[in-house]
Amino acid sequence: MARIFITGSSDGLGSLAAQALVKKGHKVTLHARNAQRAKDAKSACPGAETVLIGDLSSMSETKKLADEINSLGTFDTIIHNAGLYRGEVKRTADKPSLPSLIAVNTIAPYILSCMVHRPKRLVFVSSSLHTGGDATISDLEWATRAWRDYQAYADTKLHNILLSKAIARRWPDVSSNSLDPGWVATKMGGAGASGDLNAAVETYVMLATGDGMKGDGMTEEGSGKYFRPGRKEGLPKKESDDVAIQDRLLKECERISGVELPQ
């Protein structure tokens, strides 16, 4: 059975995926941004091994969280699920200061991927909205642009795919993939969402464990792929396969965070 760590697993798809994985006998460690959310996480998934606390909008807290993850040993899978969606710009206290949405959605998964003991599998949660993301990888701090939350979200969801593909290319011993869970009825998606929650959770479970990636019409387990609900491989924005764009994002994330992706 696999040991799995899931960021942003106090509610929503992160929690549902954790519950599904625990039911299958896997050992899951949850994550929440504060103590109250940690209680919520454990209440929703009492079979989880433990809950780690860390505010991913803070680079220093994210780095501390990476150390705490490592103190528990090596995980088989890390799922970068935590994310912010819409809202007014809220800037972090970090230097450089970032919109919290960028810090949580892009910089935190980069830092954790760099600092946490290398797992067998990495999963980056993206969105179909990544197709509207800006592939120029410029002004990640939103220092020279007027804030547009929808655009910022689309950018970060493209970043998630770029990160998964860049790591897949650099770390051939790791299965690094991304997924679009679809528009589903969670707190983020809203009650009116029409997507299939079960299909989304099935894809989380498949990528977290590798089960179902061989047979059932799927190709053999690979890396650098993009999946849609129902365990179906999809085609992301073509720019996501551009190595120069991938490397530009890595350089920007390194510049902002001060952390280099190990070779």
Specify the CATH number for the domain of residue 253.
3.40.50.720
pLDDT at residue 7 in the model: 98
Find the mean pLDDT for residues 125-148.
97
**Structural domain contains residue 72:** yes
Selecting among 110, 153, 204, 226, the annotated active-site residue is: 153
Closest C-alpha to 66, from 52, 79, 50, 76: 52
The answer to whether residue 263 sits within a structural domain is: no
Average pLDDT over residues 167-173: 96
Pairing of strands 226-228, 232-233: antiparallel
Catalytic, out of 63, 110, 157, 204: 157
Strands annotated E in 33-75? 50-53
Question: Using an 8 Å Cβ cutoff, are 81 and 14 in contact?
Answer: yes
> What is the mean predicted confidence (pLDDT) over 166-181?
96
Residue 134 within any structural domain of the chain: yes
Determine the structural domain holding residue 96 and report its residue range: 3-257
Query: What's residue 48's pLDDT?
Result: 98
Mean pLDDT over the full length of the chain: 93
Indicate whether 205 belongs to any domain: yes
pLDDT recorded at residue 185? 46
* pTM of the shown model: 0.94
Q: At what angle do helices 59-71 and 108-115 cross, to 10 degrees?
A: 30
Phi, psi dihedrals of residue 99, rounded to the nearest 5°: -60, 140
CB 81 within 8 A of CB 6: yes
CB count in 10 Å sphere of residue 141 = 17
Give the model confidence (pLDDT) of 101-126 as tens digits: 999 999 999 999 999 999 999 999 99
Is position 157 annotated as part of the catalytic site? yes
Q: pLDDT-based confidence at 211, cuts 50/70/90?
A: confident
β-partners of residue 116 are none
Q: Helix, strand, coil shares of the chain as percentages rounded to 5?
A: 40, 15, 45
- Give the bridge partners for 227, in sequence order: 179, 233
Domain tally for the chain? 1
Quickly count: other Cβ atoms within 10 Å of residue 27's Cβ.
Answer: 17
Cβ–Cβ < 8 Å for 231, 207? no
Residues in the chain, total: 263
DSSP state of 56: T
pLDDT at position 217 is: 37
Residue 153 catalytic? yes
